[in-house]
Structure 1
């Protein structure tokens, strides 16, 4: 899954002398064994990731102990390497969380795909660094280097929480940078909620994002036992905040697909992930559609919203033997299948 070096890491491999003077704190869009490459040529880096899949993979493939969560632990770091995430807002967030751990004079590096926002590195670092230099460019990727010249203020997680109302449900949604549906309810989720109907028993919100679906279901069906899973730590944190903001309760935990899920459900409901990094991403949803029936009680249902052009009905039929289209508009369709 993460075995081959990405073009960004291949470019970084030309700069190991610069990157391996000190144990760097590495975070952002980690998609390969760049930490292992750095460790082989210098002091082992400290790795912080918001991606549970990557956390599990790296934990099992070398002796490092990566950190998984919405922010790194408050342990001082000697330098920082940020691999540019897809969302610029998330890059701002990660810098705000990590730079306070560095002393003045510490090196700061930002690397990424040239089409992925890395060219914004000078602006991103301007509040804390006098000069930001582009030190390499290859494989359609670039590396920027700077020195921390002004101490970064202590990280305050609450400053990064956004909120917007769901007036129909009388709910407030809490969001964090980079989390899906960060500042408004997307049209697909609205269509799903409008067609979910009454639910009962044990319900799984798969790929919970900011917790919109789960909170809405709890408000409409207060008797359900809700579990919310996501691969992204910022999404999990946002879901917990949304629940707390609205006086609701659910079990929220990280899971790569259904890997950490136990037992059987009366309903699995999802607006599943469609993009990962800079690439269109279907694998997680395809696995869900193939495996969901094994996690449902007899008579339990899978309820899904998806872009109308995606070939999900065929996959649902392969897993369940049937697929019902509950609703559709010009862009989205709601699918249901029963175990």
Structure 2
């Protein structure tokens, strides 16, 4: 899993002489064993990730200096390497979270795919640095370097919270940078919520994002025993904020797919991930479709929304023996299956 170096890490391998001069705090779009490569060249890096799947993988590799959460622990760091995440807003957030740990004149590096927003590094660093240089460019990736001139103030997460209201349900949604459906209710979730069959008992919101689906379900059915899972720490925190804002209660926790989940459930509801970073990503959903039945009570159901062109009905039929299409719009389909 994730063993091959990404093109970004291959480019970074050309610059280990610079990167390994000090212990690095590494964060952002971590996808491979870059930390091990850095440790082989110099001081072992400290890793901060918002991705629970990557956290689990690195822990299983024997890495101990790794943190999972919405911000790193307030321990001083010597230098920072940010791997450019997909969303620019998340990059701004990660810099705001990590730079307060650096002393003045500390080195800052930003690396990423040229199509992934890394060219905005000079603008991202402008509030903190006077000069940003492009240190390298290769393999369709770039590395920028700068020196911290203006120390950053400690992160106040409340200043990064945004939100919107779903008028139909009088639901206040709270969001954080990089969380799916951060600015509005996406059309897939809307279609799903408009076509759900009545629910009861224990319900799992798979890939909870900002908590829109789970909070909407609790608004309709306050008696539900709801659990919300995601691999993204910012999504989990956004879900907690959404639930609290609407005076709703659910169990919210990190899980890589269903690996941290204990069944059985009466219903699993999902608007599963389609992209990871810059890549199209099917593995998590395919695993869900092939294993969900094992986490359902007899008569329990799986309902999900997916892009209409994805070949998910075949996987559902193979696992459940049938697949019902509840609704279709121009882009999405709602699939439903019951454990018989």
Which runs of structure 2 are paired with 1:120-269 in the superposition (5 Å)?
Answer: 120-269=120-269
SS of equivalent to 1:297? strand
Q: Retained in 1: the 8 A contact 2:45–2:65? A: no
Aligned position for 2:71: 71
Aligned position for 1:43: 43
Shift of the alpha carbon at 1:224?
A: 0.5
**1:25 is the counterpart of 2:17:** no
Shift of the alpha carbon at 1:261?
A: 0.3
Unmatched segments (≥5 aa) in structure 2: none
Q: Retained in 2: the 8 A contact 1:25–1:80? A: yes
Aligned position for 2:104: 104
Q: Distance in 1 between matches of 2:335 and 2:31?
A: 32
Q: Retained in 1: the 8 A contact 2:326–2:336? A: yes
Deviations along 1:159-212, one digit per CA (max 9) or x if unpaired, are 101110011111100001110000100011001001113210000000000000
**1:305 is the counterpart of 2:274:** no
**1:326 is the counterpart of 2:298:** no
SS of equivalent to 1:316? helix
Q: Distance in 1 between matches of 2:240 and 2:15?
A: 40
Q: Retained in 2: the 8 A contact 1:36–1:62? A: no
Q: Retained in 2: the 8 A contact 1:160–1:176? A: yes
Q: Distance in 2 between matches of 1:45 and 1:107?
A: 14
Q: Distance in 1 between matches of 2:331 and 2:14?
A: 45
Q: Retained in 2: the 8 A contact 1:289–1:319? A: yes
Shift of the alpha carbon at 1:329?
A: 1.3
Deviations along 1:230-266, one digit per CA (max 9) or x if unpaired, are 0111100100000011100000001011000002000
Aligned position for 1:338: 338
SS of equivalent to 2:169? coil
Aligned position for 1:56: 56
Q: Distance in 1 between matches of 2:213 and 2:287?
A: 21
Q: Distance in 2 between matches of 1:316 and 1:63?
A: 36
Which runs of structure 2 are paired with 1:277-288 in the superposition (5 Å)?
Answer: 277-288=277-288
Deviations along 1:114-169, one digit per CA (max 9) or x if unpaired, are 01000000000001101000010111100000000011111101010111001111
Q: Distance in 2 between matches of 1:291 and 1:259?
A: 10
Shift of the alpha carbon at 1:62?
A: 3.0
Shift of the alpha carbon at 1:65?
A: 2.7
Q: Retained in 2: the 8 A contact 1:163–1:183? A: yes
SS of equivalent to 1:135? strand
SS of equivalent to 2:5? coil
Q: Distance in 1 between matches of 2:234 and 2:116?
A: 20
Deviations along 1:19-46, one digit per CA (max 9) or x if unpaired, are 1111110000001111111111111111
SS of equivalent to 1:190? helix
* Over 4 Å off, 4+ runs: none
RMSD of aligned Cα (Å): 0.7
Q: Distance in 2 between matches of 1:158 and 1:330?
A: 37
Unmatched segments (≥5 aa) in structure 1: none
Shift of the alpha carbon at 1:309?
A: 0.8
